[in-house]
Amino acid sequence: MPPDHAGAADEITYLEAVRSALADAMRDDERVFLLGEDIGAFGGAFGATAGLLDEFGDARVLDTPVAEEGFVGAAIGAAWMGERPVVELQFADFVTCPFDVIVTVAAKTHWRSGQAIPLVIRMPTGGGIRGGPFHAGSPEGWFVGQPGLKVVCPGTVQDAYGLLRAAIDDPDPVLVFEHKGLYRRLVGPRPAAGARTPLCTAAVVREGSDATVVTYGSGVAIALAAVDRLGADVEVLDLRTVWPLDREAVLRSLEKTSRVLVQQEAARSTGAAPHILSLVSREAFELLDAPPALHAPPDTPVPFAPELEDAYLPSVDSTATELERLLAY
Amino acid sequence: MPTEPCSDVLSVDARARVALLRLVLLQRLFEERGLALYRQGRIAGSFYDGRGQEAVAAAAGLALGPHDVVCPLNRELATHLARGVTPADAFRNFLGRADSPTGGRDGNMHFGVPDLGVFPLVSMLGDLASVTVGAALAFRRRREARVALTFLGEGALSVGDTHEALGLAGVWRVPAVFVLQRNQYSYSTPLARQTVNTVLAERIQGGWSIPCETVDGTDALLTYEAIKLAVERARSGGGPQAVEAVTLRIHGHAAHDDGRYVPQELRDEYAGRDPVARLLGRLVADGVTADELDELRAGVAAEIAAGLAEAERSPPPDPATLEQGVWAAPPRATVVP
């Protein structure tokens, strides 16, 4: 496999963690196979499957035609037959194409018939690479609240590996939103082979007592940096799975801090934030010392021009400013 | 108009002929009973039937082997029954009972019994074409001599998903069989308003290089032979196959629709071509006695009556169970302490 960085031997990128998770899962379980566009000889648009064709062959690394609805549907059929298909969509924006089979077939089959559909769909999400309106979106919110699906958004190297392994083990359809801006920028200790990050559980990635930042995906590193910059005693809760939500983890943190900033890369009226804010207002109202705050991009598609995209995306600066405002209330 | 018996297809033996007759009669009598229940208000929601298309559903169901799988649509009750789904199970689904295949979560023909190799129908046409291709892909990957079959109406051939599935089936060369239910209408829209080239077999062969024979879908024996051959070609490594079965949907899209838009000339064309009557005529011509046929019909009627009685004894679903089964691994169960 080609190296993606020249770091220490015991550190890998988020992208290498994804690739390792795929390779380890395929070594451990014959039922696991990959399908997607350009994932074979080319190694995938971002290189997540580089080298896997050589190791596993074209019966387990299937290049597909440009037919997302068709090959996601086919993955559902294979899952019905007991296989463990892992689909790659080239960009998360393209999930519009197989939306129908995901919500109509994958999400509802178990509830209607008792037949599990163990399907994983990986998709590079988010901005920061000047992708514009069709290659930089964060569409996870379309699936938050959809019964029958699980939606995960790894924000660390450890979880890029562990959430993907757990998703492949899981009997339900799991959508994995891998942040493309983190692929080569985020480096961390190499996860232990076989490590799993449990689904549907949030993690406190930094303890604190004055406020809680609830975030996920690209927001995790940004929130940690913002808290560091302020030198504040702030807790950072990484949701990891944005649907179904880990309700208890949010409430547990608010019992301690009484202030919450919900921060995400998805536009403010989509993503997981509206659901977190609904939960907080319904179930944590009496715990709060300040109105729940939201830091998320405006309700527009993702812009292309660097000046626009930089203004659009939450940054360490903008997150620190929002946090100061919340702490001063 | 006198009814012409089904063709005397030599490859279809006496046992298969009787099995087909039993299946078309089961679907016919079930749906007649069900339609009455719907009109009496005892079945809620909507009621779809396959009158005029029973032979296609029966032929496909009987053509499959015990380890094959199928994704039936709305008008293929006989396919379910051929796989071992019971009339009681089907009635339970129409009645929305707790122990129905969907446990009351879905109604009418929107069900499947995965353990019997029958995937539950979804309403979005074309979706199950790709699911079928995926099941067949699993068989090819594991080198299992199994086949996956589904049905496509004219409406589904206007849906992009269908074409994605047909394309994948060919590229991956999977053992999938597509049975085209050419029943002339998609709801109220005739085929000529659905597509310019109305020769569906030509579209399938020319567009997707999938072999496709056209048969008279009111002739149970011809249809059975064609689907059986397609299934065996797919099973023996011939790649995806298709059969276009030409029929007329005798009833409307569903029970609320009287089909007033179907021209009389078309109805006249099909007046002497009822698939059940044609198959009965064949068996009479084969020398099966009236007593034997009466006995078969009485047996089927008794089976339908017993199935309905059994279904009506089933309890309604308990609202307390509504949130069960949304996930195979519910969120709490995945929490690691």
pLDDT digits 0-9 by tens, B176-232: 999 999 999 999 999 999 999 999 999 999 999 999 999 999 999 999 999 999 999
- Whether residues B134 and A77 touch (CB distance < 8 A) is answered with yes
B124 and A150 within 8 Å at the Cβ level: the answer is no
- Residue A244: is the preceding peptide bond cis (ω within 30°)? yes
pLDDT, tens digit (0-9, with 9 covering 90-100), for A154-194: 999 999 999 999 999 999 999 999 999 999 999 999 999 99
Tell me if chain B has a CB within 8 Å of the CB of A180.
no
Q: How many cross-chain Cβ pairs, A to B, lie less than 8 Å apart? A: 153
The reply to whether residue B326 touches residue A71, judged by beta carbons under 8 angstroms, is no
- Report d(CA A257, CA B32) in Å as an integer: 65
Give a yes or no: residue B206 inside a domain.
yes
B184: left (phi over 0), alpha (psi -120 to 50) or beta: left
A79 touches chain B (CB under 8 A): yes
The verdict on residue B108 lying in a domain is: yes
The catalytic residue among A5, A135, A179, A275 is A135
pTM: 0.96
Put simply, whether B322 touches A (Cβ < 8 Å) is no
What CA–CA distance (Å, rounded) separates A126 from A123?
Answer: 10
What is chain B's percent helix, strand, coil content, to nearest 5?
50, 10, 40
Kindly give the residue spans of alpha helices, DSSP state H, lying in chain B: 14-39, 54-63, 77-82, 87-95, 127-141, 160-172, 191-194, 200-208, 220-235, 264-269, 275-285, 290-313
Nearest alpha-carbon partner for A29 in A225, A167, A227? A167
B88 falls within a domain: yes
Calculate mean pLDDT across residues A29-33. 98
CB contact (8 A) between residue B131 and residue A64: no
pLDDT interval class at A321 (50, 70, 90): very high
- What the block records as the tokens of B307 is 């199935």
Check residue A1 and give its pLDDT: 45
- pLDDT tier for residue A9 given thresholds of 50, 70 and 90: confident
Q: What is residue B139's three-state secondary structure? A: helix
**Residue A114 in contact with partner chain B when CB distance is under 8 A:** yes
Q: Supply the CATH number for residue B138's domain.
A: 3.40.50.970
B116 Cβ contact list (under 8 Å, min separation 6): B83, B84, B85
pLDDT at residue number B100: 97
A275 is catalytic: no
Q: Order the strands of the A234-238 sheet from edge to edge.
A: A203-206, A234-238, A211-215, A260-263, A293-295
B333, part of any domain: no
Token reading at B6: 């089904």
The count of other CB atoms within 10 Å of the CB of residue B321 is 12
| Beta carbons within 8 Å of A265's beta carbon, 6+ residues apart | A126, A127, A138, A179, A217, A218, A219, A271, A296, A297, A313, A314
Q: Which of A113, A196, A241 to mutate to test the interface with B (most CBs of B within 10 A)?
A: A113
Give residue-wise pLDDT tens across range B275-294: 999 999 999 999 999 999 99
Output the furthest CA–CA distance in chain A (Å, rounded).
59
Task: Tell me how far CA of residue A195 lies from CA of A118, A158, A165, A169, A199, in angstroms.
Answer: 19, 8, 7, 12, 13
Is B3 among the domain residues? Answer: no
Q: What is the pLDDT of residue B2?
A: 79
pLDDT digit string (tens) for A295-309?
999 999 999 999 999
In a domain, B325, yes or no: no
Asked whether residue B324 is assigned to any structural domain, the reply reads: no
Is residue B187 within 8 Å of B256, Cβ to Cβ?
no
Position B264 in a domain: yes
Find the mean pLDDT for residues B125-133: 96
User: At residue A7, does pLDDT exceed 90?
Assistant: no
Cα torsion at A296, A300, A301, A305 (round to 10°)? Answer: -90
Residues near B297 by beta carbon (within 8 Å), at least 6 away in sequence: B25
Domains observed in chain A: 11-189 (3.40.50.970), 203-328 (3.40.50.920)
Report the residue from A112, A115, A116 with minimal CB separation from B106: A112
> Is pLDDT of B335 > 60?
no
DSSP B326: S
DSSP-assigned beta bridge partners for residue A232: none
First to last CA, chain A: 51
Structurally, how many domains does chain B consist of? 1
> What's the pLDDT score for residue B337?
36
Q: Is B177 on the interface with A (CB under 8 A)?
A: no
Q: Do A74 and B102 touch (CB under 8 A)?
A: no
Asked if the ipTM is above 0.90, the reply is: yes
Calpha distance A76→A71 (Å, rounded):
9
Contact A70 B168 (CB under 8 A): yes
Distances (CA, A) of B115 to A81, A82, A134, B6, B68: 10, 12, 41, 34, 11
Determine the pLDDT at residue A8.
58
| Residue A106 Cα, gap to closest chain B Cα (Å) | 10
Over residues B1-40, the pLDDT tens digits come to: 679 999 999 999 999 999 999 999 999 999 999 999 999 9
At B295-332, the pLDDT tens digits run 999 999 999 999 999 999 999 999 999 999 999 999 87
Domain that holds residue B214: 14-317
Model confidence over B143-161: pLDDT tens digits?
A: 999 999 999 999 999 999 9
Q: Chain A within 8 Å of B168 (Cβ-Cβ)?
A: yes
Calculate ∠ Cα B118-B122-B123, nearest 5°: 140
pLDDT score recorded for residue B1: 65
A200 touches B: beta carbon within 8 Å = yes
Q: Which residues pair with A215 in a beta bridge?
A: A238
